[in-house]
């Protein structure tokens, strides 16, 4: 366990844990106590798959005062859920995208800083009015726990962070209207969508463009958790604070208010292509302040600390693959 125990908003949360002498088990988290749910379900994913039925049962279990509870400090906190699909939203924070577009207009097109920023802001306003989200798939094999080491792959040098609010789908749906989309959200968690920047573009296949698989799906490149906080307890997902510190320096510190496409629009958009199922994970994009912005990338020995309002925190130490 980390020195600082994770906390959650609301009366309870869900997680996956391991204890000495036991394998991984699903747990109900109430403050600093954890009750195993192994007598009810095999995994947190199974809870989500039967969310409407099991949620009232969890509310009752959360107030039980028997001796079947673990101390959170005695457990290893694993990634909270094994997802079905991982759907990842790119370029979804206004300030972040404006910064990127303005920098390109200055360096490539010779615009003044004022012209570049005004043009970029106009582009984002039009994208909000008439555009659609940009979404790609991630690999569940990239997931690691919220306090696990991040292992840098052998290839590439510009390993970057991107802290994101993620939601867990709680019921099946296709072609979901935006006005009904929030009914499909069971819970929220934290994901850090790490990226190897210098492996994002393929010089041998310039016409194809980006290589999301190679750049984003190395083992341990998606620290997730610590908990699933039920949507009923998480507050307004469009008004949460996302904060990341790299070696103690604040690098990302932004509100989810800055999203270009909000959660209902993201769910509506992805569900036109794929059927959403309970346990699917949807990442909502990362705000300004990644390593590329600062000109600083991850190195062995670095420590990345991340948190989102009410959802707990992560602490990952970076190490070399060797």
The predicted pLDDT at position 15 comes to 98
The predicted pLDDT at position 65 comes to 74
DSSP state of 153: P
What structural domains and CATH numbers belong to the chain?
13-78 (no CATH), 86-320 (3.90.850.10)
The predicted pLDDT at position 18 comes to 96
Say how many C-beta atoms besides its own lie within 10 A of residue 216's C-beta.
Answer: 25
The predicted pLDDT at position 130 comes to 83
The predicted pLDDT at position 104 comes to 67
Q: Which residue is associated with the tokens 């792959």?
A: 153
Dist. CA 276–CA 190, nearest whole Å = 20
The predicted pLDDT at position 1 comes to 63
Contact call for residues 244 and 250 (beta carbons, < 8 A):
yes
* Residue positions counted in the chain: 322
Residue closest to 26 by CA, chosen among 43, 8, 49? 43
Residue range 14-61, pLDDT digits in tens = 999 999 877 899 999 999 999 999 999 999 999 999 999 999 999 999
Dist. CA 308–CA 163, nearest whole Å = 9
pTM, entire model: 0.93
Residue range 93-129, pLDDT digits in tens = 988 777 777 766 766 667 777 777 787 788 888 888 8
Residue closest to 10 by CA, chosen among 40, 31, 33, 41? 31
Contact call for residues 194 and 160 (beta carbons, < 8 A):
yes
Which residues does the chain have with pLDDT short of 50? none
The predicted pLDDT at position 41 comes to 97
Residue closest to 91 by CA, chosen among 306, 251, 287? 287
Say how many C-beta atoms besides its own lie within 10 A of residue 304's C-beta.
Answer: 21
The predicted pLDDT at position 121 comes to 82
Tokens for 95, please give them.
């300030």
């Amino acid at each position: 366990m980390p020195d600082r125990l994770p906390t959650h908003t609301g009366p309870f949360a869900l997680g996956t844990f391991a204890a000495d002498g036991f394998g991984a088990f699903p747990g109900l988290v109430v403050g600093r106590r954890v009750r195993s749910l192994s007598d009810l379900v095999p995994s947190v994913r199974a809870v989500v798959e039967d969310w409407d039925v099991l949620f009232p049962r969890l509310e009752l279990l959360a107030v039980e005062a028997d001796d079947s509870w673990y101390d959170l400090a005695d457990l290893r906190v694993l990634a909270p859920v094994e997802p079905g699909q991982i759907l990842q939203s790119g370029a979804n924070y206004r300030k972040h995208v404006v910064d990127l577009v303005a920098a390109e207009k200055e360096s490539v097109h010779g615009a003044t800083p004022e012209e570049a920023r005004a043009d970029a802001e106009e582009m984002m306003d039009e994208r909000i009015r008439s555009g659609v989200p940009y979404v790609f798939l991630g690999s569940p094999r990239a997931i690691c726990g919220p306090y696990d080491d991040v292992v840098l792959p052998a290839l590439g040098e510009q390993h970057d962070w991107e802290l994101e609010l993620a939601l867990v789908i709680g019921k099946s749906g296709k072609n979901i209207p935006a006005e009904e989309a929030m009914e499909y959200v069971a819970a929220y968690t934290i994901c850090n969508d790490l990226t190897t920047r210098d492996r994002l573009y393929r010089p041998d296949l310039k016409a194809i463009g980006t290589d999301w698989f190679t750049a984003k799906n190395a083992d341990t490149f998606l620290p997730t958790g610590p908990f699933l906080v039920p949507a009923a307890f998480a507050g307004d997902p469009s008004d949460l604070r996302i904060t990341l510190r790299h070696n103690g320096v604040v690098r990302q510190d932004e509100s989810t208010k800055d999203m270009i496409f909000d959660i209902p629009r993201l769910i509506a958009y992805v569900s036109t292509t794929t059927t959403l199922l309970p346990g699917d994970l949807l990442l909502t994009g990362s705000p300004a302040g990644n390593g590329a912005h600062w000109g600083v990338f991850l190195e062995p020995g670095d420590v990345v600390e991340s948190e989102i309002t009410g959802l707990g925190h992560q602490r990952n130490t970076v190490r070399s693959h060797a």
